[in-house]
Structure 1
Amino acid sequence: MRTRTKPLLRVWEWQAEAACRGMDSSVFFSPAGERGRARLRREEAARAVCGSCPVSGPCGRFALTSQQSYGVWGGFTEAERRSTVRVNRK
């Protein structure tokens, strides 16, 4: 019998090359109550990391396909991912 699933390592292997590997996750995920300029500054810092990352494409696709609700993934914020999902559903 053939299976359509990929070996687990292949699903995650892109992370080994991620520019954010080993970084503090607080750069990518907002603390409770974060708003306004503080949120924008944190998101800009996260985007800067993603901008130099060789696997930002796979990271962003992973976030969309796995419906990640929080954080900056592949340079895309939570709001941008929600917007993309809404556009694709129409």
Structure 2
Amino acid sequence: MTIRVYTEDNLTPETWIQDAACAQIGGDAWFPEPKDEATANHAKRICKTACPVREQCLEYALRTRQRDGVWGGYTAKSLQAIRRRSAA
């Protein structure tokens, strides 16, 4: 299975995503409901312990300003905080 992620500024696939833990596992854990901390924590734990492309995922999420989901072991809310700190 090939998973491709495209953005307006990047019309080529993000090839690293094929190796991501979430691509191998699948499921809805990567996009938990906003108040579902148990599911978000489960996804973050998998990212931080089993994903070989976690750094690329985090960079992608920050670069493309992801607003939903767990990316690189961080929730969208955490990503927003990282972006704010980086902008300061």
Runs of 5+ in structure 1 lacking a partner?
none
- Pair 18,86 (structure 1): closer, same or farther in 2 beyond 3 Å: same
| Percent identical | 27
- Higher RCO (CA 8 Å, separation ≥ 6 residues): 1
SS in 2 for 1:46: helix
Q: Deviations over 1:25-78 (max 9, x none)?
A: x201123xx52xxx2111111012202100010001100000000110010111
Runs of 5+ in structure 2 lacking a partner?
1-8
Partner of 2:73: 75
Quote how far apart the aligned CAs of 1:88 are. 1.2
Q: TM-score, normalised by structure 1?
A: 0.76
Q: How many residues align?
A: 78
Partner of 2:84: 86
SS in 2 for 1:44: helix
Counterpart residue identity of residue 20, structure 1: C
Quote how far apart the aligned CAs of 1:7 are. 7.5
Counterpart residue identity of residue 29, structure 2: V
Q: Which runs of at least 4 in structure 1 moved beyond 2 Å after TM superposition?
A: none
